[in-house]
Amino acid sequence: MKIYYDQDADLSLLKDQTIAILGYGSQGHAHALNLRDSGLKVIVGLRAGGPSYERAQADGFEVLAPHLACSRAEIIMVLVPDQIQPQLYREAIEPNLSPGKMLMFAHGFNIHYGQIVPPKEVDVTMVAPKGPGHLVRREFERGAGVPCLVAVHQDATGQALARALAYAKGIGGTRAGVIETTFREETETDLFGEQCVLCGGVSALIKAGFETLVEAGYPPELAYFECCHELKLIVDLIYEGGLSFMRYSISDTAEYGDLTRGPRIIDQRVKEEMKRILEEIQSGRFAREWILENQAGRPVMNALRRQEAAHPIEEVGARLREMMPWLKKK
Ligand SMILES: NC(=O)C1=CN([C@@H]2O[C@H](COP(=O)(O)OP(=O)(O)OC[C@H]3O[C@@H](n4cnc5c(N)ncnc54)[C@H](OP(=O)(O)O)[C@@H]3O)[C@@H](O)[C@H]2O)C=CC1
Ligand SMILES: CC[C@](O)(C(C)=O)C(=O)O
């Protein structure tokens, strides 16, 4: 497996090229600002009247309708939500593709599941940061970076990988390490990670712990600090030095509880369910469900969002975070 760092990427490959960033949300604003700070020429493609249009202008970018941005740019990075991309592709991107251009993604969903099929004469690549967009920006500003995956789906120019690596360097990814992979591998592992561990698994674990303590009669504020707030402090230690550094910092009592009780929580049944979820991703069943859910106007997503917003952990957490002035208010 190949991992690329700063010395493996040449920013000058992009210096005379215009980069269009479509979307100015979580990833979009971070890529646009980091690339500009790296000395590259960036324009932003957005629909007029949307909330991020003025934000991108206020940050000093030239903001154009998506089809105009695509017609002006040699490099087009698609950073609108995955479910929006196929329509935006048909309306604004495809008519403005021509030989020599490079179409880029930060996640492989639409290419891997065949929702977007670009013409053969353009490069199609991916630079997928392994972290939320706001941290892609925050880490870059402090001189660090978020690791990325890079993949080439089509190499029409012979320069696709080199140009994608230059882009990864421009957003700070090669400071931390950029792994070469495929659209399939990125898509499947990314969906698996967010469903089973990073978002789905962690949220379910936090809520189960919180509910168990509250149902046993402990104060919800205490349950929040124990099962949610402290998680970040523990994960920071794992991020910095692995599980061993976290275990070095916690008490021996905590470490003994971790080693003996942890496997009772995440046991063989959990792993069996993870395997089933991975199979749904690999077979395309999850992708079909998500595509149809969007076509139907998101009835399940809307109901679940309402239900989750009403969970007691949200009210308690908001109240406690209000007392922590160092946390950014949403
Ligand atoms: N979120 C993350 O941290 C990560 C995301 N990715 C990938 O990056 C890509 C972008 O995701 P993310 O940054 O979360 O996206 P966001 O949801 O943050 O994107 C919002 C942006 O998309 C624009 N947009 C939304 N709907 C439309 C529309 N109908 N037409 C035109 N523009 C629209 C919004 O404009 P407006 O203001 O007008 O609504 C806004 O600028 C996805 O492929 C995702 O999988 C990869 C790694 C991590
Ligand atoms: C963990 C969620 C993520 O995969 C990410 C930030 O990397 C996403 O798609 O938002």
DSSP 17-69: SEEEEE--SHHHHHHHHHHHHTT-EEEEE--TTSHHHHHHHHTT--EE-HHHH
Q: Which pLDDT tens digit goes with each residue over 279-302? A: 999 999 999 999 999 999 999 999
Phi, psi torsion values for 129, nearest 5 degrees:
-65, 140
Distances (CA, A) of 212 to 201, 207, 224, 226, 318: 16, 8, 11, 12, 20
Q: Which pLDDT tens digit goes with each residue over 2-59? A: 999 999 999 999 999 999 999 999 999 999 999 999 999 999 999 999 999 999 999 9
- Point out the ligand nearest to the CA of residue 136: 1
Q: What is the pLDDT of residue 328?
A: 75
Query: How large is the average pLDDT for residues 248-253?
Result: 98
- 193 annotated as a binding-site residue: no
C-beta separation of 144 from 162 below 8 A: no
| 129 Cβ below 6 A of ligand 1 | yes
What is the set of domains in the chain, with CATH numbers? Answer: 3-182 (3.40.50.720), 199-266+298-327 (no CATH)
Cα–Cα dist 232/79, whole Å: 27
Phi, psi torsion values for 157, nearest 5 degrees:
-95, -15
Cα–Cα dist 282/154, whole Å: 22
Strands (E), the chain: 3-4, 18-22, 41-45, 63-64, 75-78, 102-105, 123-129, 148-154, 178-181
User: Cβ < 6 Å from ligand 2: which residues?
Assistant: 130-132, 190, 194, 198-199
Q: Which pLDDT tens digit goes with each residue over 226-235? A: 999 999 999 9
CA end-to-end span of the chain: 40
Cα–Cα dist 296/290, whole Å: 10
Q: Atom 2 in ligand 2: which residue has the minimum CA distance?
A: 194
Ligand 1 atom with the shortest distance to the CA of 66: 31
Tell whether the model's pLDDT for residue 329 goes beyond 70: no
Give CA angle at 221 (216, 226), nearest 5°: 75
For the chain, percent of residues with pLDDT exceeding 90: 99
- The pairing of strands 102-105 and 75-78 is parallel
Distances (CA, A) of 18 to 41, 101, 249: 5, 10, 48
CA 46 to chain centre: 20
107 is catalytic: yes
Residue 204 CA to ligand 1 centre (angstroms): 25
Q: Which among 31, 107, 112, 153 is annotated as catalytic?
A: 107
Ligand 1 atom with the shortest distance to the CA of 132: 3
Cα–Cα dist 298/222, whole Å: 35
Q: Atom 22 in ligand 1: which residue has the minimum CA distance?
A: 80
- Point out the ligand nearest to the CA of residue 25: 1
Q: What is the pLDDT of residue 330?
A: 62
C-beta separation of 88 from 167 below 8 A: no
Residue 130 CA to ligand 2 centre (angstroms): 7
Q: Please, where are the H alpha helices in 216-267?
A: 220-224, 230-249, 252-265
- Point out the ligand nearest to the CA of residue 191: 2
> What does pLDDT average to over the chain?
97
Beta bridge partners of 149: 128, 179
- 262 annotated as a binding-site residue: no
Q: Which pLDDT tens digit goes with each residue over 154-163? A: 999 999 999 9
Tell whether the model's pLDDT for residue 71 goes beyond 90: yes
DSSP 158: S
Distances (CA, A) of 164 to 17, 43, 153, 160: 13, 17, 11, 6
Tell whether the model's pLDDT for residue 150 goes beyond 90: yes
| 210 Cβ below 6 A of ligand 1 | no
Distances (CA, A) of 259 to 205, 230, 264: 17, 18, 10
